[in-house]
Structures are given as C-alpha cells and as structure tokens.
C-alpha cells in the first residue's frame, strides 16, 4: 500500500460515518478511479459500484454517470435501478419522488440534495405530469416509491 492509497482509505473511512452521502460517495468514486488506474480491477469495481449506488440514490446524476463510466472502463456495466412505473423519470426525479413520498418537504429534500426548494418543486411538477398524479400523497402509492 502506498502513501497515496493511505490517504484515500482514510478519507473513505472517515466519511463512512458521515450523514453527508454525496461526500461519502465522492470519496469512494475517487478511490475507485485511483484503484482502476493502478490496475486493481476487483478492488476498484467494489468502490465504484458503491459510489454509483450512493450517487444514484441521492440524485447526483453527473457523478453517478461518471461512476458508471468508470465501472464500464473497469469491465463491469453499471446497473440502473428504476422500479416499475418509474421508467419515464430521471434519476434525480426518482430520488426526489422517493423522498417526498416518505413525507419530506421540498425544503428538506432541497437541503439533502443540495438544491433549491424551487428546483425541487419544478422537478415535482415534472414528476406529477409524467406519473399522471396530482399530489404528494399519491407518490406513496406509486410502485417503487412507497414510503
């Protein structure tokens, strides 16, 4: 293990206890990228897979795509995880819909995803249109979104 790797491992371990999922995921993404470039396939795929899952869950689409690209470069396709009835939604819309479906307010969702409440509301309008629903309560009843 090199000094550089020690720093990556320390960052991952330190952030593993953090509630800041995007930072935890980014640390794993960066470590996975470094491992891939060091030719350590199995280890890099594990880190990149976890990073991709976390980034997808929080709706960080650009970083999730980056993790997916790194996974492909490491020889593993990234799995997409949209449930039934969610096919027309973007990853960020799925994340917002799930959070709102559990009862979170636009302000709470915005804080969690590092967005503005207005952006969350704009996504909700698109979600409602795409799913053919009219209220936040109806999100709980959607397959794959239930709270």
DSSP letters for 23-38: HHHHHHHHHHHHHHHT
| 86 close to 94: Cβ distance less than 8 angstroms | yes
- The Cα–Cα gap between 35 and 75 comes to 13
CA of 74: how far to CAs of 68, 77, 136, in Å? 10, 9, 40
Q: How many CB atoms lie within 10 A of CB 107?
A: 11
Instruction: Please tell me the predicted confidence (pLDDT) of residue 83.
Output: 46
| Sign of the CA dihedral running 95, 97, 102, 108 | positive
| 36 close to 70: Cβ distance less than 8 angstroms | yes
Average pLDDT over residues 90-104: 88
Q: What token pair was written down for 54? A: 């976390």
Determine which of 3-12, 37-46, 78-87, 103-112 has the lowest per-residue pLDDT on average. 78-87
Highest mean pLDDT among 92-96, 117-121, 133-137: 117-121
When the pLDDT of each residue in the chain is averaged and rounded to a whole number, the result is 87
- The Cα–Cα gap between 110 and 103 comes to 13
Check whether 2 has a pLDDT greater than 80: no
Radius of gyration of the chain (CA): 17
Q: Which of 7, 25, 8 has its CA nearest to residue 16?
A: 25
Instruction: Please tell me the predicted confidence (pLDDT) of residue 45.
Output: 94
Instruction: Please tell me the predicted confidence (pLDDT) of residue 110.
Output: 93
- Per-residue pLDDT tens over the stretch 32-88: 999 999 999 999 999 999 999 888 888 787 888 899 899 989 988 877 654 445 667
Instruction: Please tell me the predicted confidence (pLDDT) of residue 81.
Output: 53
Single pTM value for the model:
0.58
């Amino acid at each position: 293990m090199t000094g550089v790797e020690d720093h990556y491992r320390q960052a991952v371990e330190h952030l593993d206890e953090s509630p800041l999922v995007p930072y935890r995921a980014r640390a794993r993404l960066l470590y996975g990228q470094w491992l891939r470039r060091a030719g350590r396939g199995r280890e890099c795929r594990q880190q990149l897979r976890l990073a991709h899952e976390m980034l997808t869950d929080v709706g960080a689409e650009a970083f999730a795509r980056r993790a997916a690209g790194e996974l492909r470069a490491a020889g593993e396709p990234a799995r997409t995880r949209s449930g039934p009835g969610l096919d027309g939604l973007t990853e960020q819309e799925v994340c917002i819909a799930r959070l709102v479906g559990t009862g979170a307010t636009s302000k709470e969702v915005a804080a969690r995803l590092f967005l503005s409440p207005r952006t969350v509301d704009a996504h909700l309008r698109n979600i409602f249109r795409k799913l053919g629903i009219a209220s936040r309560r109806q999100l709980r009843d959607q397959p794959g979104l239930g709270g």
